[in-house]
C-alpha cells in the first residue's frame, strides 16, 4: 500500500502522487501521471510493490537543499535578513538534505541564485520525492520534519527565485561605419543590379544627412562600370525620393 506519510501529503496538502523507482519516474508520461485517486494509487502500489512515490502540489515550489554540494537553507535566509527559517512544511530527505515548500505560482529558475546546492522544483515542470519513500543510496526514509501549513514564498526570496528578465541593450552604430557599409554595398554590386543598389545607397545616405559620403558612393559606382550619366540619374532620383539635396 501507499506509505502513510505519502497519504498524509495527499490529504493534508492536496498533493498528487505517482510511482517512481528510486528518484526516477518510470511510467510513460512521467509526473503527468500524478493522481489523487486513492483507488488508482492502491492499484499502482499493488502493481509496483515497494516503489517510491513522486509528489506534486499545485501552486507550490520547493527549495531542494543538497548539503553535499554546499546547500544550506539557514545561510540562504540569513542572506535576506531572516534570523531563522520561515514556518512552513519541510521534508527531510534520505540523503540528509531538506525540501522546503512555499506557495508560489510564478516562473522560477532551476537553481537558487547565488546559493550553490539549492535547486528549485516547480510543480509545473517536475516533482519531489514524497515522505515515506526510501533513498536509493542511503536506504534512509524521506520524512516530514516540520509538519506545518505551507507558507507563501517570502518576498525577500523573489530576486533569488525568479528568472532574470532579458533586456536587450540598444545598439548604436557609428555613422561612419554605416556609411562604410553603403559604399561597400555599391562597390560589390554587379550586373543589372548596380543602378538599383546605387540608388538605394544614395537614398540611405541622404535620409541620414550623410551627403558627405555621396562622392565615395560615386567612386564606388563608377568602379563597377556605371557611367557618370547613370550615376547622376540615380542621384537625382534619390534626391527626389529622400526630399533632400546634396549640400
Which range, of 51-55, 133-137, 175-179, 205-209, averages the lowest pLDDT? 175-179
Q: 3-state class of 121 per DSSP?
A: strand
pLDDT-derived band of residue 247, with 50, 70 and 90 as boundaries? low
What is the pLDDT at residue 167?
Answer: 52
What is the pLDDT at residue 195?
Answer: 81
The b/e string for 21-35 (b: 16+ C-beta within 10 A; e otherwise) is eebebeeeeebebbe
Q: Spell out the SS3 assignment of the chain.
A: CCCHHHHHHHHHCCCEEEEEECCEECCCCHHHHCECCHHHHHHHHHHCCCCEEEEECCCEEEEEECHHHCCCHHHHHHHCCCCCCCCCCEEECCCCCEEEEEECCCCCCCECCCCCCEEEEECCCCCEECCCCECCCCCCECEEEECCCCEECCHHHHHHHCCCCCCCCCCCCCHHHHHHHHHHHHHCCCHHHHHHHHHHHHHHHHHCCCHHHHHHHHHHHHHCCCCHHHHHHHHHHHHHHHCCCCC
What is the pLDDT at residue 211?
Answer: 76
**pLDDT top residue among 196 and 42:** 42
Closest to 112 measured CA to CA, from 143, 70, 58, 50: 70
Cβ atoms of 210 and 179 within 8 Å: the answer is yes
Dist. CA 142–CA 96, nearest whole Å: 9
What is the pLDDT at residue 14?
Answer: 94
**pLDDT top residue among 164 and 71:** 71
Look-up: residue for cell 559620403?
213
pLDDT tens profile 163-221: 876 454 444 444 444 567 888 888 887 666 788 888 888 888 888 777 788 898 988 88
What would the grid cell of residue 100 be? 522546503
What would the grid cell of residue 247 be? 549640400
**pLDDT top residue among 192 and 26:** 26
What is the pLDDT at residue 174?
Answer: 47
- Residue spans per domain, the chain: 4-161, 175-242
What is the pLDDT at residue 179?
Answer: 61
What is the pLDDT at residue 213?
Answer: 86
Q: What is the pTM assigned to this prediction?
A: 0.68
Other Cβ atoms less than 10 A from the Cβ of 86: the count is 18
Which range, of 32-46, 50-64, 203-217, averages the lowest pLDDT? 203-217
Dist. CA 221–CA 207, nearest whole Å: 19
Amino acid at each position: 500500500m501507499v506509505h502513510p506519510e505519502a497519504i498524509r501529503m495527499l490529504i493534508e496538502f492536496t498533493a498528487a502522487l505517482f510511482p517512481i523507482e528510486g528518484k526516477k519516474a518510470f511510467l510513460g508520461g512521467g509526473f503527468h501521471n500524478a493522481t489523487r485517486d486513492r483507488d488508482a494509487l492502491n492499484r499502482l502500489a499493488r502493481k509496483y510493490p515497494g516503489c517510491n512515490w513522486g509528489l506534486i502540489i499545485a501552486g507550490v515550489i520547493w527549495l531542494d537543499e543538497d548539503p553535499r554540494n554546499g546547500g544550506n537553507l539557514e545561510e540562504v535566509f540569513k542572506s535576506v535578513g531572516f534570523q531563522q527559517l520561515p514556518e512552513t512544511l519541510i521534508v527531510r530527505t534520505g540523503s540528509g538534505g531538506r525540501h522546503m515548500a512555499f506557495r508560489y505560482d510564478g516562473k522560477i529558475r532551476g537553481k537558487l541564485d547565488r546559493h550553490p546546492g539549492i535547486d528549485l522544483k516547480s510543480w509545473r515542470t517536475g516533482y519531489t520525492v514524497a515522505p515515506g519513500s526510501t533513498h536509493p543510496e542511503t536506504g534512509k526514509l524521506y520524512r516530514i520534519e516540520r509538519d506545518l501549513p505551507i507558507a507563501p514564498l517570502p518576498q525577500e526570496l523573489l530576486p533569488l527565485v525568479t528568472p532574470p528578465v532579458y533586456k536587450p541593450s540598444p545598439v548604436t552604430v557609428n555613422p561612419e561605419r554605416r556609411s562604410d557599409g553603403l559604399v561597400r554595398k555599391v562597390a560589390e554590386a554587379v550586373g543589372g543590379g548596380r543602378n538599383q543598389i546605387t540608388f538605394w545607397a544614395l537614398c540611405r545616405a541622404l535620409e541620414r544627412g550623410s551627403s558627405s559620403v555621396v562622392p565615395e558612393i560615386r567612386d564606388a559606382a563608377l568602379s563597377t562600370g556605371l557611367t557618370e550619366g547613370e550615376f547622376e540619374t540615380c542621384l537625382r532620383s534619390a534626391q527626389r525620393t529622400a526630399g533632400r539635396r546634396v549640400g
